[in-house]
Amino acid sequence: MNLIQSNQCFQGEQRIYSIASNALKTTSRFGIFLPAQALAGQACPALFYLAGLTCTEETFAIKAHAQRVAAQLGMILISPDTSPRGDEVAKGDHWDIGQGAGFYINATQAPWAEHFQMESFVADELYALITQEFPVARNQIGIFGHSMGGHGALTLALKYPEKFKSVSAFAPICAPSQCPWGEKAFSAYLGTDKATWLAHDATALIEAKGAVFNEILIDQGLQDQFYSQLNPALFSQACAKVGQALTLREHTGYDHGYYFIQSFIDDHLSFHAQQLNA
């Protein structure tokens, strides 16, 4: 683990690290905000944030404006890159497949399978590294994300509830097996057997697993230019069917970008603080 950059921020530090990843078979980077409490060695609650298509480990740290409230709450924020990177890693021929578009799943198809093991990277390798190397309160770890990362947050939380105690999302891809983004990515990464896709689909997972969390929070802009890809209604219906408490807030005038995230980031951090302390 090599420190690439460190900047003082609200009496804490915003850092970027690089690591040689066994899961991804390449060097990867992640961002981490350490509040003053963590720098002093105090065990702190932690949130993993999964970013969306085309983003990197820096996007959330720069654009979300989350550090101020995280500092007040004494909360560690972790933001991995969205895919493996490097000259040896398959790139794809469009912005929504390949590098920058890992979808937080483990690919099984060539040429992606060798490096695109993002589920294992986040839920196993990076999770273990963070809990070993930083003062994280082990029973107070949550996950949230945006768009593709919202899909990742929901699915990883549902798959690993023993690791993630809370979950929320901004404009998540709620049913990727039923939208063009998901169909394109899953066909490439997982193959054409659609039955295998359901293990990576939040709507299908909630229907299969039932109620898992005390509450799930989702914020969605109604002027989101990608609304037709996101299907929050399908996820809401699945939650209602199995009795999973869901707060789905739909906001007039807001689109898909980080101005939307900035507007409600404080609510999400407070939501996680409450859930993690419950």
Per-residue pLDDT, 93: 84
For residues 27-44, give the mean pLDDT. 98
Per-residue pLDDT, 124: 98
The answer to whether 158 and 169 are in contact (CB under 8 A) is: no
Per-residue pLDDT, 92: 86
Q: Which of helix, strand or coil describes residue 107?
A: coil
Peptide bond into 111 cis (omega under 30): yes
The answer to whether 51 and 250 are in contact (CB under 8 A) is: no
Determine the distance from the C-alpha atom of residue 103 to the mean position of all C-alpha atoms in its chain, rounded to a whole number.
9
For residue 246, pLDDT beyond 80: yes
Summary mean pLDDT of the chain: 97
Residue of 224, 236, 268, 272 marked catalytic: 224
Residue of 21, 83, 147, 236 marked catalytic: 147
Sheet holding 246-251, edge to edge: 2-9, 12-21, 26-34, 76-80, 44-50, 136-146, 166-170, 216-221, 246-251
Is 263 assigned a catalytic role?
A: no
Per-residue pLDDT, 127: 98
Name the band, by pLDDT with cuts 50, 70 and 90, for residue 162: very high
Per-residue pLDDT, 278: 77
pTM (2 d.p.): 0.98
The answer to whether 4 and 14 are in contact (CB under 8 A) is: no
The answer to whether 77 and 273 are in contact (CB under 8 A) is: no
The answer to whether 16 and 29 are in contact (CB under 8 A) is: yes
3-class SS letters over 30-98: EEEEECHHHHCCCCEEEEEEECCCCCCCCHHHHHCCCHHHHHHHCCEEEEECCCCCCCCCCCCCECCEE
For residue 25, pLDDT beyond 80: yes
The pLDDT tens digits of the residues spanning 87-135 come to: 999 998 889 999 999 999 999 999 999 999 999 999 999 999 999 999 9
The answer to whether 14 and 31 are in contact (CB under 8 A) is: yes
Residue of 151, 256, 268, 272 marked catalytic: 256
The pLDDT tens digits of the residues spanning 58-75 come to: 999 999 999 999 999 999
Percentage of residues in the chain with pLDDT exceeding 70? Answer: 100
Count of positions (residues) in the chain: 278
Is 224 assigned a catalytic role?
A: yes
For residue 269, pLDDT beyond 80: yes
Is 272 assigned a catalytic role?
A: no
